[in-house]
Amino acid sequence: MKLIINSKNAKSGIYLPNRKSMKNLLISTLFIAVLGATITSQSQNTTQTNPSWWFGVVTGSNFNFYEGSTKEINSTFSTTQAFHNGFGTGLFLGLSLEYYKPKTQLGLMLQVAYDNRKGDFDQIITTCDCPADLSANLSYLSIEPSLRFAPFRNGFYVYGGPRFAFNLDKLDNSFTYQIHQNPALPPHPVSPEIKGDFSNMEKSLISMQIGVGYDIPISSQNRRTQFVVSPFVSYQPYFGQNPRTIETWNITTIRAGFTIKLGVAKEMLTTEEEDETVVIYEKTPKIDFKVTSPENIPAERKVKETFPLRNYVFFDLGSTEIPNRYVKIKKSEVTEFHEEQIEMFTPENLSGRSKRQMVVYYNILNILGDRLVKNPNASIKLVGSSEVNKEDGLKMAESVKTYLVDVFSINPTRIATIGNIEPTIPSRQKGEKEELILLKEGDRRVSIESASPEMLMQFQNGSNTLLKPIEFEVIQEAPIDSYVFIENKDANKIFTSWTLESKDKNGVVKTFGPYTEDNVSIPGKEFLGTNASGTYEMKMIGTTKSGKKFEKITSTDMVLWMPAETDISKRFSILYEFDDSNAINIYDKYITEIIVPSIPKNGKVIIHGHTDMIGDENYNQNLSSKRALDVKDIMQKALSSKGRNDVSFEVKGFGENKDLAPFENNQPEKRFYNRTVIIDIISKK
């Protein structure tokens, strides 16, 4: 009678599940652990904080599943039949380092450990009908960095990453092989065990892992030194785990264990406030929080605006036709076109808060044609810049020339055209890698150049000189100085976000935010409503990256801006090239001889700097402030030279603040006009 042995465990007379059943059981356990931890995590609601750095000891068991085949053990020994599947458990023991901030989702893990992958292959039957056993004992030094993700911002986390394993050939690469007696034959001497080392072992392996764990505090969280135990289960598939350079033997591992971790928290104190626990570090960061409220300016302010004309016509990417946003009139309408009535001519697809200013700019072709008609001795050069090639740029320039010749009957000899790869002052610089589409849109343009003074802005010359500005009157319903300005210095470095609470004398609270920037402006009517004035307590509540909250309180008096009697002010604008603050030098004479003499006695000058939205927000904030301060310095020097000290200044930089920007940022024309300093000159009353 022939005895068939299915597993090595049959030798002891004890039945254990086969290898596939064991693997399925462990994978099911992993799934249940994830589900259970998820359910548990949804019922937890902890407000306690933990240290950010954790050091610990990790231990566990590797459940190793052998697959593939092996027969050639080393250069001196091969088995008569190939071994295939197998199973075994090995020790995992090492050190752990983790970094994650309290109540955040992302963190980092690193484990360095002794990693044993031993196991027993399933018995085979040799040609003599004798059962044969083969066991393997493999050991590695494993380095396992992982990304940690806590979806519920509590103790439950999942992790995954690569496994770098280095074979410890000085310790274990051994095997044990033995052939047992044929149970159908009479007893005879047992064959001795054959022991030795595997050959052709991989010196290093790169594989992967994914797992779940749960942090369980085992010490009081009020202690500075805290301890946590973290049970975990991980899965390491066979990819990259072939232990040898020959044959097809590979290993899949499911690991179960726990980590005991130690962390040191910063000293903290807790205060109860309105039934909520607010955790505050004893070392409070320096918070510079200011609120500037508007003065009462009872006027329906009429603004006589001197609006500069940027000497560019921008083209859409991939097109050499003049975009529809530019106003194109018929030849029969030329005699009706007048600069002072320019708002009668509007482009086809214009909308938004910058409509009035863009109506002016999008009539630039008509303004140019009208001025060429009125100044028959003037001439211009059109320089088309295209990222495609010079020929494409020339086609763009010819499109503008064709319009001026066909509609305004300008002699073609007065208009020269040329094509270039890029403008004289390009927006896109070498090495630039971010926001390339926006920069490319800004550089695809036709520049209008002229040597005729009657076409150009006062006191300027050269290829980049702006065209002579337009003057018109508008009514400003809510001037910029009716806003409440909140300055929270370095807020973007200290806090992840902050909110503002205002409380009036009746205890009514309004909340604004959350914000991430340092400077915020809010219309005064948002606080006052229909009240003419009021005193408000202003509370800034900031949240740090570690989840801590800090407060700063100040008070301010507000007066509602209300229109009344007519007051006429003047507005001038200074335009800049991309990422430029020093170009203010070319405006020195214009500011000194045109703008400063228009300031009335005891007048007020409001100077506001702006940028477009390309680039870093903090960089743009500083750039706009520098531009505004440069303008102020030139004006003060000019006033001082005339012996005047009766003018007050208000200077602010708003960066790329979209709520206060003069224009939107969705088109290159508007972005170019946002690179500006706006000067408002207001009389004393």
Distances (CA, A) of 622 to 435, 610, 611: 20, 10, 10
Question: The domain spanning residue 493 has which CATH number?
Answer: 2.60.40.10
**DSSP string over 415-463:** EEEEEESS-SS-SSPTT--SSHHHHHHHHSEEEEE---GGGB-TT--ST
pLDDT reported for residue 63: 96
What is the tens place of the pLDDT at every residue in 339-390? 766 655 555 555 444 455 577 888 889 889 999 998 999 999 999 999 889 9
Tokens 């300027």 sit at which residue? 460
pLDDT reported for residue 171: 65
pLDDT reported for residue 394: 94
Residue 304 lies in a domain: no
Q: What is the DSSP letter of 187?
A: -
Residue 597 lies in a domain: yes
Question: Which tokens go with 433?
Answer: 């890698």
Same domain for 333 and 448, yes or no, is: yes
Work out how many domains the chain is built from and give that number: 4
Return the exposure string of 646-656: e unless at least 16 CB atoms fall within 10 Å of the residue's CB, then b: ebeebbbbbbb
Question: Which tokens go with 126?
Answer: 């040799």
Same domain for 602 and 548, yes or no, is: no
Residue 562 CB contacts under 8 Å (≥ 6 apart), including other chains: 296, 298, 532
Tell me the C-alpha distance between 425 and 463, whole Å.
Answer: 10
Question: The domain spanning residue 648 has which CATH number?
Answer: 3.30.1330.60
Backbone angles phi, psi at 613, to 5 degrees: -95, 10
Residue 428 lies in a domain: yes
What is the tens place of the pLDDT at every residue in 211-253? 999 999 988 776 778 899 999 999 999 999 999 999 999 999 9
Least reliable range by pLDDT among 185-189, 275-279, 411-415: 275-279
pLDDT reported for residue 20: 53
Tell me the C-alpha distance between 364 and 58, whole Å.
Answer: 72
Tell me the C-alpha distance between 55 and 69, whole Å.
Answer: 40
Tell me the C-alpha distance between 469 and 590, whole Å.
Answer: 12
Same domain for 486 and 440, yes or no, is: no
Q: What is the mean pLDDT of residues 122-149?
A: 92
Residue 350 lies in a domain: yes
User: Does the pLDDT at position 186 exceed 70?
Assistant: yes
User: Does the pLDDT at position 14 exceed 50?
Assistant: no
User: Does the pLDDT at position 38 exceed 50?
Assistant: no
Residue 662 lies in a domain: yes
Q: What share of the chain is helix, strand, coil (3-state, %, to 5)?
A: 20, 40, 35
pLDDT reported for residue 22: 56
pLDDT reported for residue 465: 78
Identify which has the larger pLDDT, 585 or 111: 111
**DSSP string over 222-239:** TSSEEEEEEEEEEEE-ST
The residue range of the domain holding 616 is 564-685
Which run of H or E residues covers position 43? helix 19-43
Tokens 């963190």 sit at which residue? 107
* Residues 56 and 260: beta-carbon distance below 8 Å: yes
CB-hemisphere CA count at 13 Å for 343? 8
Q: What is the mean pLDDT of residues 180-190?
A: 79
If phi > 0 it is left, if psi is from -120 to 50 it is alpha, else beta; for residue 68 that is left
Same domain for 164 and 194, yes or no, is: yes
pLDDT reported for residue 673: 85
| pLDDT band, very low/low/confident/very high, at 183 (cuts 50, 70, 90) | confident
pLDDT reported for residue 25: 52
Distances (CA, A) of 175 to 140, 611, 626: 15, 72, 75
Same domain for 541 and 486, yes or no, is: yes
pLDDT reported for residue 15: 36
Burial class (CB in 10 A: 0-12, 13-18, 19+), 464: middle
Tell me the C-alpha distance between 469 and 459, whole Å.
Answer: 12
Q: What is the mean pLDDT of residues 544-569?
A: 72
Same domain for 261 and 327, yes or no, is: no
Residue 201 lies in a domain: yes
Residue 499 lies in a domain: yes
Question: Which tokens go with 685?
Answer: 């009353």
Tell me the C-alpha distance between 205 and 176, whole Å.
Answer: 24
H-assigned helices in 313-425: 355-361, 364-374, 390-408
Same domain for 28 and 110, yes or no, is: yes
pLDDT reported for residue 582: 53
Tokens 């503002």 sit at which residue? 500
Comparing C-alpha atoms, which of 584, 577, 567, 587 is closest to residue 683? 567
Mapping DSSP onto H, E and C, the string for 643-682 reads CCCCCEEEEEECCCCCCCCCCCCCCHHHHHHHCEEEEEEE
What is the tens place of the pLDDT at every residue in 292-349? 766 544 445 567 778 888 889 999 989 999 998 888 888 888 888 877 666 555 555 5
* Residues 219 and 226: beta-carbon distance below 8 Å: yes
- Total Cβ atoms within 10 A of residue 130: 18
* Residues 86 and 119: beta-carbon distance below 8 Å: yes
Cα-Cα-Cα-Cα torsion 577, 582, 587, 593, nearest 10 degrees, comes to 160
pLDDT reported for residue 663: 82
What is the tens place of the pLDDT at every residue in 54-72? 999 999 999 999 999 999 9
What's the mean per-residue pLDDT of the chain?
80
Pairing of strands 565-575, 299-309: parallel
Residue 512 lies in a domain: yes
H-assigned helices in 55-123: none
What is the tens place of the pLDDT at every residue in 593-635? 888 998 888 888 999 998 888 888 888 888 888 888 988 999 9
pLDDT reported for residue 129: 84
Angle at 315 between CA 314 and CA 319, to 5 degrees: 175
User: Does the pLDDT at position 526 exceed 50?
Assistant: yes
H-assigned helices in 479-528: 491-494, 525-528
Tokens 């044609």 sit at which residue? 369
Same domain for 449 and 552, yes or no, is: no
Same domain for 553 and 441, yes or no, is: no
Tell me the C-alpha distance between 136 and 88, whole Å.
Answer: 9
Q: What is the mean pLDDT of residues 28-33?
A: 49
Same domain for 361 and 229, yes or no, is: no
Same domain for 61 and 172, yes or no, is: yes
Question: Which tokens go with 96?
Answer: 């752990």
Comparing C-alpha atoms, which of 551, 491, 548 is closest to residue 520? 491
Distances (CA, A) of 220 to 82, 152, 265, 654: 56, 22, 12, 47
H-assigned helices in 502-616: 525-528, 588-590
What is the tens place of the pLDDT at every residue in 435-466? 678 888 888 999 988 888 888 887 766 667 77
Q: What percent of the chain has pLDDT over 90?
A: 30
Same domain for 436 and 323, yes or no, is: yes
User: Does the pLDDT at position 563 exceed 80?
Assistant: no
